[in-house]
Amino acid sequence: MVLKTFFSKFQHKSRKLLAVFLYLSIYIGVSTPLMAIDFYDTEILVFQYTDIQEYTEKLNTPNVSHIKFNLDLTSLLLKTSTIEIEPVIDGYLSTQARDLATAQNYRIIFYGGWSQKTSNRKNAPYVEVNLPEINGRGDALTGVIRLFATDLLYIDVLMRYTPPATSGVNSHNSSDPLLFYFIDERRRVKFDEVHFFDHPKFGVLVSVRPIK
């Protein structure tokens, strides 16, 4: 079950607070047969955990998985479609956005949405998520998302995030191309559910709705 998996990830006290917020705001709708759907509306909300996390030093150590992820992401960025993600003000994830904006230890990085046609795995478009460093803010977010349908609906999320440089244990050298955090996951999704992709440094919420 999505909710059972969702709650099992929150061991830190602050994450339990987030779980409560999301649980109260998630609406589980009746699944619609994929064959009856021509278009999807998709939203993505990315946020940072701003508190000092455990195992920070280990997370800040580049390794071979960073190299592989960078190569995979670079390859997929060359395949991205012309679909552009638009900013969202009042959307499906607005309740979660408000909860995160008022909760301690969380900061919203990116909130956007787009529409796309139903596609099988071979023809499904790769949609680019890109938040370059602007005016010294320090956040850098790059990734691709792909929705595709078989008999079921799936989503691929590849997201690379570099937080702002700070002092102390969370400091990093922005010149190091390997020093970033990433999520690389495929998951089955259902309409009208909020799906949570978790990392100790940042999180991604995704919602998919049918356009009939």
pLDDT at 150: 87
% of the chain surpassing 70 pLDDT: 68
The pLDDT confidence band at residue 186, using thresholds 50, 70 and 90, is very high
pLDDT of 140 > 80? The answer is yes
Give kind and range of the element (H or E) at residue 18: helix 13-25
Mean pLDDT (whole number) for 64-80? 92
pLDDT at 170: 45
pTM of the model: 0.76
What separation in angstroms does the CA of 119 have from each of 45, 100, 147? 23, 32, 8
Total number of domains constituting the chain: 1
Range of the domain at 126: 2-211
- Asked if 22 and 210 count as a contact pair (C-beta separation under 8 A), the reply is no
pLDDT of 30 > 50? The answer is no
The pLDDT confidence band at residue 15, using thresholds 50, 70 and 90, is low
Of residues 173 and 6, more confidently modeled: 173
- Asked if 163 and 200 count as a contact pair (C-beta separation under 8 A), the reply is no
pLDDT at 95: 94
The pLDDT confidence band at residue 106, using thresholds 50, 70 and 90, is very high
pLDDT at 167: 38
Mean pLDDT (whole number) for 64-93? 92
The pLDDT confidence band at residue 27, using thresholds 50, 70 and 90, is very low
Handedness of CA 173, 175, 176, 180 (dihedral sign): positive
**Residue 45 bridge partners (DSSP):** 111, 205
Q: What is the pLDDT of the chain when averaged over all its residues?
A: 78
pLDDT at 156: 96
pLDDT at 24: 44
